[in-house]
Amino acid sequence: MGLFQFVSPDIAVDLGTNNTRVYVKDKGIVVNESSVIITRGDGPRNVIAVGDSADELIGRSAGNIRIVHPLRDGVIVDYELAQTMIHYFVSKAIGTRHFIRPRVVVTMPSEVSKVERRAVINAMEKIGARQIYTVEQAFAAALGTGLPVYEPQGNFIVDIGGGTTEVAVVSMGGIVLSHSIRIAGNKIDEAISGFLKKQHGILVTERVAEQIKLDLPDVRAGRELEHMAVVRGRDIATGMPLTVDVNMSRVSEAIREPIKEILSAIKWVLGRIPPELAADILQNGIFLTGGSAALPSLDSMIATEFGVPVSVARDAGECTTLGAGYMADHFDMLGNIGRADG
């Protein structure tokens, strides 16, 4: 009887450039933390903080620390620290007592190299996963949105994460057509930071740039809006604290290029939809998920651009995790509906 107390639950790991979430079967999302590690020196042995605890130390610690983001543009770029980070999050989700070879559903972008894909699988093997199922983020997002992904119906999903934007048509339990670009929320934040640096001579943190993005009254450039924001940062010339008033309509203009790239990715997929599914898309529209899906008026911009109804999914930032979690809840069925590795 005692042995059965140590059986590990099935889990889903949504590896994100900015956040990693862990879903535990029948419990839901139990970990949602920043994908960041702080080390003193090189290597996993020198890790001093992981996740949200590391995020809180950024900008508040001595200068001899390294801030490492083990994932960039949705893929692992620092294998050893990614493994350390994943192990920390999974242990936190299911406890060290239960950490005995869990079955894992893990998300990844649709367009990754074999090396990038293998790195994710290897990381899961290293934490002791006895079976690994990989799922494309767009499919998981569509499933988590509640779309009928296993029906003979076309479902159009646009998942705008931190590192990648995934655009896909999903039907009959799989992805019919997809396109992935490594331009998403982070590139929008970088455009905002660059604008503030160039136009106002102020340096801001990633967190400030992201908050400005979320506070935009309208993402559409060229709209004359009398909306000003107070931005605090550091003067480029003197290094001293600086506060400036920023016209938010100018910020909308500054993010035009990354938004344009996202629109181009949507257009690429729309122009290649099989005729049999085109009517479904015209009727049901496009569904936006991901952390940047709720950018003000982005849905209206896409609808106007392509003449297709657009909806922002409920809990847009968690749809991918919830979809992968649904698969973890039904792990024994995955052999019939997808691809398992490990």
Statement: residue 3 has pLDDT above 50: no
What's the pTM? 0.90
What is the predicted pLDDT for the residue at 338?
A: 43
Kindly state the average pLDDT of the residues 13-40.
94
How far apart (Å, rounded) are the C-alpha atoms in residues 38 and 49? 5
pLDDT band at 167 (very low <50, low <70, confident <90, very high): very high
Q: Among 17, 169, 24, which Cα is nearest to 102's?
A: 24
CA distance 301 to 297: 6
Segment 63-117, tens digit of pLDDT: 678 889 999 988 899 999 999 999 999 999 988 665 568 899 999 998 888 998 9
The pLDDT of residue 73 is 87
Interatomic CA distance for residues 200 and 194, integer angstroms: 10
Q: Provide the 10 A C-beta neighbour count for residue 11.
A: 26
Average pLDDT over residues 320-338: 83
Taking 50 as the threshold, does the pLDDT of residue 342 lie above it? no
